[in-house]
Structure formats: C-alpha cells, structure tokens
Structure 1
Amino acid sequence: MRYTVAIGRAETYHPDVLQPALVRLLAPLGGIASFVKPGERVLLKPNMLAAREPERAVTTHPEILRQVIALVREAGGVPLVGDSPGVGGIRRVAERSGILAVVEETGAELAPFDETVTVRGRGLFREFQIARPYLEADRLINLPKLKTHEMMTMTCAVKNLFGAVVGTAKAGWHLKAGADRELFARMLLEIYLLRLPDLTIVDGILAMEGDGPGSGDPRHCGLLLAGANAVAVDVIAAELAGIPKKLLWVERAAEKLGIDGWDRGAIDTCGLCFDDARVSPFRLPHISDVQFGLPRFLKNRLRHYLTSRPCGNPDACNLCGICRDTCPPGAIEIRDGKLRFDYHACIRCFCCRELCPQGVLEVREGALLKIIKKFV
C-alpha cells in the first residue's frame, strides 16, 4: 500500500496567505470534503502543551486552527477543539496560546478532555484511559506542531496524540514507560492505533529546534504538511528537517511493529517539490543517554555517568514549583530556597524542562557521556 503526504508553503500566518495555502495543500488529497461529511462532529486536536504565546512555537498557531475550523464548516462539519495540556487547565492554556480567542470568535466548541473511557490495548499495554471526546467524535483532525523533543528527538503527528491521555495520567505513563525510549515510543504508537486520525495537518511555518518541545528555539521554515497516515507524515517531516532515522524512536518502533506508514519507499509526496521544501538540518536536543542496549545490571551502575540530567539555575529560577508538581516520579523538591533533585529517582524524561514556564532548567551531562560525545 502507498501513502501520500502533501507539502505546502506559507511564509506567514496571515489569513490572506494561510487560507489559500491550506486549500492548495489539501487539494491533491481530495480537499477537506474527502475527510469531513455534512453533520459530522469533527474534533480538532492542536498541540496545547503549555500556556505560551504563539511566537514561542510551543503550541499550534491559533491561525492554523481558525482556518481549519473554517474548512470544516465549509464541508458541513461541526468543529470541536480539544486537548489535555501538559500543565494548566485547557482554558488557561487556550487563552495564553491564542486558541481560546479563535474558539470564541468562530463559535467552535471547546471540548475539555476531563472525562475518560477505559479502552483495552491492542499490544503490550493492556488498557488506556482516553478522553471521551477524542474517542466519540465522528472525525479526528490532528494539528501538531513540528518540534524537536528531548526524549523522542522529534514530536509531530504521532506524539501529538499523547494529548488524548488526560491530565495526571500522563505522569503515570512516564513512570511506566518513560525510562526507556523504545518502550515509550511503543506506548505512543499503541495510543495512536486506538483511534487513527482521519487527517493530519502539520504547523511547520514556525517550528522549534534545539531543546524542544517547550524550551527550544523558534525556527522559521514556512512549511505545511498533510496526510491521512500520521506515521508517514512524521517520516516526511523528519526527512525535511534533516533528522536521521536512527534518532527517531517512534518511527523506528513503527518499523519494528510493522505499523503502516513507516516505509519511506512507500510514501509519495505531492504539492511543493520535496527538494525545494528541505530546510537546513534542525539543531537537535543534546545527546541525553547512551545506555540503551546495555545489560540491566550495567545500566543501574553506570546510569549517573551515561546520561544527562536536569538541574536548576538558581540565578534564573523563580521557584514556581511547576517542575516539582509535574515530575512523574516526584524527584524534585524545593528546599532552602533551591530546587533539589533526587537523581536516583529521576527517570530522565525531562518533563520538568518541557513544562518550565521560564525555560530555565539546565542540563548536566554525566562524565562518561561527555567523553563519548567527543567521538560522536
């Protein structure tokens, strides 16, 4: 089976630029009418990681959402907007990111992910608690932001669907699977398979590189991507961003599990010429771990030396406590006016850095990791 990923360009989020760019992007895929039928309730799932302004490139830009809402309405669909942010309530995150204003101005429905449904897993994990609106909508349109990710290297189409897991349950999954990148990637794919998105549209106009998904640097790319298969969309997004396959944990896991869309040879691109869409390679997150593949007894003994770990910056940290409150294993405390980390309990998921509103948590590398990096 072959898969198609459309590539388009939009240099700005101005509606006069973005609206026709989205129409052109979707045209080779059959237009929005191929994915939305009259009367259907259509859940739009943006990236609403945390309460940040649009120019920081942490969340899906609100103008992308506005234009997709308009397209859904043109097709006769009823648009809903939902997510479960990593920290903070959905209204607070939606307000700060500009998404709430769009929802109110367009008359779309904000669908908080606060009620869950227990769904039996189809793989390694036996069950998941998934947001009811996510499962019950007639159609699902995935609206991820193209960003680097300190744990998964890249977050885009598949990773964005982790937002279907509600609130504090995300911390539980980090505890279950977050200490092992391969296991965490498999968990993300099993969530993806519970409810395949009907369409994915990637906001790559202002992307993020470096220490994403919350503390990286905005990177203007002027790109839009769309496709019916989210794994295939991720494969193309990573190639355009110059991210090597060996660092793409989700895509490697998809290949290992035989999930549709992983094979680049089976993916066709349309719209903008692929070579014209390429950008200079993204600056990637620091190498945080070289212990995968080691026997467990060696991992336990050498973990401190073979991994990076988060640390506080006392000159910049205002001790807001968000990192402490959201740390999955509870490895952070505030004591004597400083952040204190229990590195024996820390699972190196970097959720603390991901959700720090000031982006001031730093990274300290283990001694052996420093040496190894000199030869990488």
Structure 2
Amino acid sequence: MQTYKPSVSLIRATSYESAALRESLTTLLEPLGGITAFVKPGQKVLLKPNLLTGARPTKECTTRAELVYEVAKMVIEAGGKPFLGDSPAFGSAKGVAIANGYLPLIQELNLPIVEFHGQRYQTVSENFNHLLLCKEAMEADVIINLPKVKSHLQLTLTMGVKNLFGCVPGKMKAWWHMEAGKDANRFGEMLVETAKTINPDLTILDGIIGHEGNGPSGGEPRNLGILAAASNVFALDRAILEILNVSPQKVPTVAASQRLGVCPELDAIEFPLLHPDLLQISDWRLPDKLMPIDFAMPRVIKSTFKHLYIRFIKEPMNTYSRG
C-alpha cells in the first residue's frame, strides 16, 4: 500500500520585485499543481497574512505587501475572489495593512479586508470548547495562509501554525495567553488544534527577509532568501526548523504537533525542489531570553484598553487627518 507523504516546496528567492517574485511563486507552486490546484472559479479565498503591528513598518514584522499582491493576482487569474482577514495584536487589520504599505494593492485589486473581531464565532474543538474562531475565516471556500518567518519571545519561532492564531477574534487571544499560557505544552496544543480546525488549503511562507532576535516585533530584519509552500502546514513548519537549525522541542507549536501525531518526521516529507539541508544556516538569532507565555490580568486589561484606543481613536484620527 502506498503511503501518502506530504510535500513541501522550497526555493531560493531574494527579491520582492514584481516580475521576479511572480516567477518565484510560479516555480514554488508548480510541484504542488500551481494555484489552480487550490483555487477554482467563483470561490471565496481568504488570504491570511501576518498583520502583527503597524508600529515598525521597516522591520519586517509583517508579511510583505508585495507577496500578498502577487498571490492575490494569481487567485484572481484562477477565477477566485480573494479577501484579506486578520486580527492584529493592536489596531485594526486595515490600519496595520495600510501602515505596512498595503494600500496600493488594496485599491488596485479592490481587495476587501475583514476584521476578525465580529460577533459570529465558531467553536474550535471539544478539548478547547471555549476557544472561538471567526466564522468569516471558517466559511471561506479556500484559505491561503501567508505567514512571515520570525523569532518569537514566547514561542521561539512563529511560522505557519502560529499565524493562524490571528483567526481568533480580537482580544480573545490575550485571554488565551492568560488561560493556557501557564503551560507551554497546553498553549502549543491549543495553537495546533486551532490550525487543525482552520486547516488551510495552502501555506506560503515569506522568508525572503525574515525577522530574527527578539521578535515577533522587537527584533531585526534578516536576509534569509527562501520561499516555502505546502498544503500541510505542520510539515512546512518542521522543514523551516531544519533550515534554521532549531530543535523541534524548542518550539511549542512544533513539539505539540509531534506529540499529537500531526507533524511528520523530516524523512516522511517530500521535497520536490530543494531539500532543507541545501538551505540550512547556522547563525539565525533566536530571542535573547524567552518570556512567559501567560499574561497576568493587569496586562490583559492594559492590552485591551490599548487595542481599543488604537482601533477607535488613533486610527480614525489618522484617517481623518489624511483625508
């Protein structure tokens, strides 16, 4: 009996320039069947970038607008109807996107942006029956996950699985840090359950320029020169760890996915283009010191008020002044 092996496509890529990036994405997706293997005419397609913050637009804290633009164009050419969606830590998805240079692509392609903080939620699983996900994400016909590879002060690294935590609405993410963050194993399992439930059709990881050190926002840009794609987000994350020379046990999401039996071993993954060994580096900088995952109640309250201030006062004022 033939055993299914998940496939992770890896290439070297060094440019966000439109023509070069389009060629890179075409090459990257070709072994997976191209974009038409994932998107059919008329389908609603969620593009889920990492829209962490608008505070450091030059520090590679978010998925590059150029990458989202090229993927969106490919979706449109395949007959799909793309929209952007996320729930940033601070501010609105639209505000963070605009701060990071997304406005021209939003306007040119007429891309809707859905704020994942509405009231239409869906429960994740029996093990986490009060963890809710935005139905706008769950009701998309196709989900294309567009993470940025970054070091992370609490989780060592953030890649494909962690990026899907953005489908948890608004400040519920902070409450989950408080509820599950005292146990890194449980927090990792919560993120894995979230990713399993969302089950993205395709993950394309932005690793042309990553973010190393004290991420997800306090580190510095790092030229990494890779793009990765897979239909299995757990296999993709495992492959990236091999490139960065980081043990799976140091990353709660990957360790949890291994415990739960959803992360394949490296030798059980197909690499149709480049093997991770050919892209491996030895000097990727992890956080100087890991911080606790859990948020104390005062921090959650402070974070909530800051989020509300940015969303309802600061961003509207900036929009008014630009107008």
Q: TM-score range by the shorter chain?
A: 0.7 to 0.9
What amino acid maps onto 2:152 in structure 1?
H
1:7–1:271 CA contact under 8 A, matched in 2: yes
Structure possessing the higher relative contact order (Cα contacts under 8 Å, 6 or more residues apart): 2
Partner of 2:125: 122
Distance 1:101 1:330, change over 3 A: farther
CA–CA separation in structure 2 for the residues paired with 1:54 and 1:179: 31
Going from structure 1 to structure 2, the CA distance change for 1:309 and 1:177 (only over 3 Å counts) comes to closer
TM-aligned CA distance change 1:165 to 1:328, over 3 Å = farther
**Which among 26, 41, 44 is matched to residue 41 of structure 1?**
44
Rate the CA distance shift 1:23–1:128 in 2: closer, same or farther, 3 A. same
Match of 1:141 among 139, 144, 147: 144
CA distance in 2, matches of 1:118, 1:74: 31
State which of 278, 281, 301 in structure 2 corresponds to 1:279.
281
TM-aligned CA distance change 1:53 to 1:104, over 3 Å: farther
User: Alignment partner for residue 264 of structure 1, among 263, 266, 273?
Assistant: 266
* Deviation per residue, 1:5-47 (Å, 9 max, x gap): 0001221211121010000000000000000001101000000
* CA 1:309–1:32: 2 relative to 1, 3 Å: closer
For residues 19-38 of structure 1, what are the structure 2 equivalents within 5 Å?
19-38=22-41
The correspondence for 1:330, drawn from 271, 289, 298, is 298
Partner amino acid, structure 1, of 2:271: T
Task: Indicate whether 1:84 and 2:52 are aligned.
Answer: no
1:97 equivalenced with 2:74 (yes/no)? no
Q: 1:331 to 1:27 in 2, by over 3 A?
A: closer
Distance 1:240 1:123, change over 3 A: farther
1:248 is the counterpart of 2:251: yes
How many angstroms apart in 2 are the aligned matches of 1:241 and 1:173?
28
Cα deviation, 1:256-285, whole Å, max 9, x if unaligned, reads 1112x3322211112234333222331111
Distance 1:108 1:328, change over 3 A: farther
Residue of 201, 205, 222 corresponding to 2:204: 201
Amino acid of the structure 2 residue aligned with 1:16: A
Pair 1:158-2:164 in alignment: no
Q: How does 1:62-73 map to 2 (within 5 A)?
A: 62-73=65-76
Deviations 1:111-162 (A, max 9, x none): 2213243433334211322112111111000000001111111100000000
Change (3 A) 1:245 1:108: same
The 1:55/1:8 distance shift into structure 2, 3 A limit, reads farther
For 1:191 and 1:328, the matched residues in 2 are separated by: 23
CA contact (8 A) 1:41 1:139 kept: yes
Q: Distance in 2 between matches of 1:97 and 1:167?
A: 20
Please, which of 179, 182, 187 is the counterpart of residue 184 of structure 1?
187
Structure 1 residues 328 and 88: CA distance shift in structure 2, 3 A: farther
Q: Quote the residue 2:8 is aligned against.
A: 5
Aligned mate of 1:107, from 107, 110, 113: 110
Separation of aligned partners in 1, 2:174 and 2:134: 15
Q: State the 1:309 CA deviation.
A: 7.4
TM-score (norm 2): 0.87
Q: Distance in 1 between matches of 2:86 and 2:17?
A: 24
Q: Distance in 1 between matches of 2:254 and 2:300?
A: 31
Mapped to 2, the partners of 1:203 and 1:124 lie a distance apart of 31
Q: C-alpha distance in 1, partners of 2:176/2:83?
A: 26
Letter in 1 for 2:198: R
Deviation, 1:197, is 0.1
Q: Segments of 4+ in structure 1 off by > 6 A?
A: none
**Residue correspondence of structure 1 range 332-347 to structure 2 within 5 A:** none
Give the letter aligned to residue 182 of structure 1. N
What's the TM-score once normalised by structure 1's chain length? 0.75
> Aligned residues, how many?
301
Unaligned 5+ segments in structure 1 are 289-307, 311-326, 335-349, 352-356, 358-376
The 1:284–1:81 alpha-carbon spacing in structure 2 relative to 1, beyond 3 Å, is: same
Q: Which residue matches 1:169?
A: 172
Aligned to 1:225: 228
Q: Which runs of 5+ in 2 are unaligned?
A: 305-309, 311-323
Distance 2:65 2:141 in 1: 23
Larger radius of gyration: 1
Cα distance in structure 2, aligned partners of 1:72 and 1:109: 14
Structure 1 residue 78 displacement after superposition: 0.5
- Cα 1:309–1:186 shift into 2, 3 Å: closer
SS at match of 2:218: coil
User: What is the rounded CA distance, in whole Å, between the counterparts of 2:256 and 2:108 in structure 1?
Assistant: 41
Change (3 A) 1:121 1:43: closer
- What is the alpha-carbon distance in structure 1 between the residues aligned to residue 76 and residue 57 of structure 2? 24
1:165-202 Cα deviation digits (max 9, x unpaired): 11111111011111221111011011112120000000
